[in-house]
Amino acid sequence: MSNLSFDTEKYFKLVLGLGNCSLDNIEQLCNVYAQAGADIFDLSPNIKSLKAAQLGVKKAGLNPYDFKYCVSFGVKGDSHIKKAQINTKKCKRCYKCVSKCPQNAIVMGENGYPKVLTEKCIGCRRCEKSCIDFHDYEVNIKDTAKDFKGEKLDIVELHISSLNKKDIFKKWETILDNFDCQKSICIDRSKYGTEKLIKLVREMTKLNSEPTIIQADGVPMSGMESLPCTLQAIAHAQIYKDLNMPIFISGGTNSFTRELADKFEISYNGITIGSYARAIVKDAITCGDIKLAVEIAKRLVDNVKN
Q: Given the rule CB under 6 A, which residues bind ligand SF4?
A: 84, 86, 91-97, 100-101, 103, 105-106, 114, 116, 121-127, 129, 131-132
Q: Is 40 or 124 the residue whose CB approaches ligand SF4 more closely? A: 124
Using CA of residue 45, residue 285, residue 293, residue 59, what is the dihedral sign?
Answer: positive
Q: Is 107 or 207 the residue whose CB approaches ligand SF4 more closely? A: 107
Min dist. Cβ of residue 174 to ligand SF4 (A): 27
Q: Is 97 or 168 the residue whose CB approaches ligand SF4 more closely? A: 97
Phi, psi angles (nearest 5°) of residue 32: -65, -50
List the one residue out of 45, 88, 89, 101 whose CA is nearest residue 69. Answer: 45
What letter does residue 64 receive in the DSSP assignment? Answer: G
Q: Where are the alpha helices (DSSP H) in 124-249?
A: 141-147, 165-178, 194-206, 227-239
Min dist. Cβ of residue 184 to ligand SF4 (A): 24
Q: Is 88 or 164 the residue whose CB approaches ligand SF4 more closely? A: 88
Q: Is 125 or 202 the residue whose CB approaches ligand SF4 more closely? A: 125
When computed from its CA atoms, the radius of gyration of the chain, rounded to whole angstroms, is 19
Q: Is 112 or 193 the residue whose CB approaches ligand SF4 more closely? A: 112
Q: Where are the alpha helices (DSSP H) in the chain?
A: 23-36, 47-59, 96-100, 141-147, 165-178, 194-206, 227-239, 257-263, 275-286, 290-305
Min dist. Cβ of residue 125 to ligand SF4 (A): 5
Min dist. Cβ of residue 107 to ligand SF4 (A): 10
Residues with Cβ within 8 Å of 44's Cβ and at least 6 positions away in sequence, in order, are 16, 17, 18, 19, 71, 72
Q: Is 123 or 274 the residue whose CB approaches ligand SF4 more closely? A: 123
Min dist. Cβ of residue 95 to ligand SF4 (A): 5
List the one residue out of 123, 125, 91, 89 whose CA is nearest residue 108. Answer: 91
Min dist. Cβ of residue 251 to ligand SF4 (A): 17
Min dist. Cβ of residue 19 to ligand SF4 (A): 8
Using CA of residue 54, residue 55, residue 56, residue 57, what is the dihedral sign?
Answer: positive
Rounded to whole angstroms, how far apart are CA atoms 42 and 220? 14
